[in-house]
Amino acid sequence: MATFPNLAICACWLIYIVYWVVSARGLKPVVERQSWLSILAHRIPIVLGVLLIVFPKLPFPLHLALTPQTGLTAAIGAVVCALGLSVAIWARRTLADNWSGTVTFKQGHELVQAGPYRFVRHPIYTGILLMIMSSAITVGRLHCWLGFLIVGSGFWIKLKQEESLMLRHFPDEYPAYRAQVKALVPFLI
């Protein structure tokens, strides 16, 4: 049965997908690109995690409920999803034509420290993880929470790859930025 919070979460994901496709036009040319092996290192866990979330008919114990399915948890999930979408879009707009779906260094690449990048170094991942967490909260099943953790590990691998690239290209600025700003969760992680 579709409820307003569930429809709101679906709408957030639809907005996210459409925005990412439309905003991917007119980016700066790539100067340095990661290898396919590096891409697979983070994409495999991300895809596996997403598959765990979207396939609802999984065997025991993956279908066990960890969070209750109530109107309150559905509403919390919808609010968390909208917050995640807002953070991801704000970060994507701030990053502008420096953005890439893979770990790349662009021609004229800038070290962006404005907008949400003042609070976390990887706010797009923070926003997406909030959106995925909203699904785990709303569905409440073990497979969704495991999917969230596996996607999080994929993003952690990718952010480590990005940070290595940024350290090479911004050897003075990036270490200072990294010392002041946490990776994913303000003041914590």
pLDDT for position 57 = 80
Instruction: Look at residue 11 and tell me if it is in a domain.
Output: no
pLDDT in tens, 20-57: 999 888 788 899 999 999 999 999 999 999 999 988 78
| Mean per-residue pLDDT of the chain | 92
Instruction: Look at residue 100 and tell me if it is in a domain.
Output: yes
Instruction: Look at residue 45 and tell me if it is in a domain.
Output: yes
Residue 99 scores a pLDDT above 80: yes
pLDDT for position 164 = 96
**pLDDT confidence bin for 2, thresholds 50/70/90:** low
Q: Residue 146's domain is classified under what CATH number?
A: 1.20.120.1630
Residue 8 scores a pLDDT above 80: yes
Instruction: Look at residue 189 and tell me if it is in a domain.
Output: no
Predicted TM-score (pTM) of the model is 0.93
Residue 85 scores a pLDDT above 90: yes
**pLDDT confidence bin for 106, thresholds 50/70/90:** very high
Report the share of the chain in percent with pLDDT over 70.
99
Separation between Cα atoms, residue 145 and residue 150, nearest integer Å: 9
Residue 103 scores a pLDDT above 90: yes
Q: Give the range of the structural domain holding residue 155, as residue numbers without chain letter.
A: 32-180
CB 89 within 8 A of CB 19: yes
Instruction: Look at residue 115 and tell me if it is in a domain.
Output: yes
Mean pLDDT calculated for residue range 88-111: 93
**How many structural domains comprise the chain?**
1
**CA-based radius of gyration for the chain:** 17
Give the number of other Cβ atoms within 10 Å of residue 69's Cβ.
14
**CB proximity list for 135: less than 8 A, separation 6 or greater:** 9, 53, 77, 81, 144, 148
Instruction: Look at residue 187 and tell me if it is in a domain.
Output: no
Instruction: Look at residue 9 and tell me if it is in a domain.
Output: no
Separation between Cα atoms, residue 103 and residue 123, nearest integer Å: 15
Q: Rounded to 5 degrees, what angle do the CA atoms 28, 101, 137 make?
A: 140
Residue 6 scores a pLDDT above 70: yes
pLDDT in tens, 14-26: 999 999 999 888 7
pLDDT in tens, 139-183: 899 999 999 999 999 999 999 999 999 999 999 999 999 999 999
Residue 1 scores a pLDDT above 60: no
pLDDT for position 86 = 97
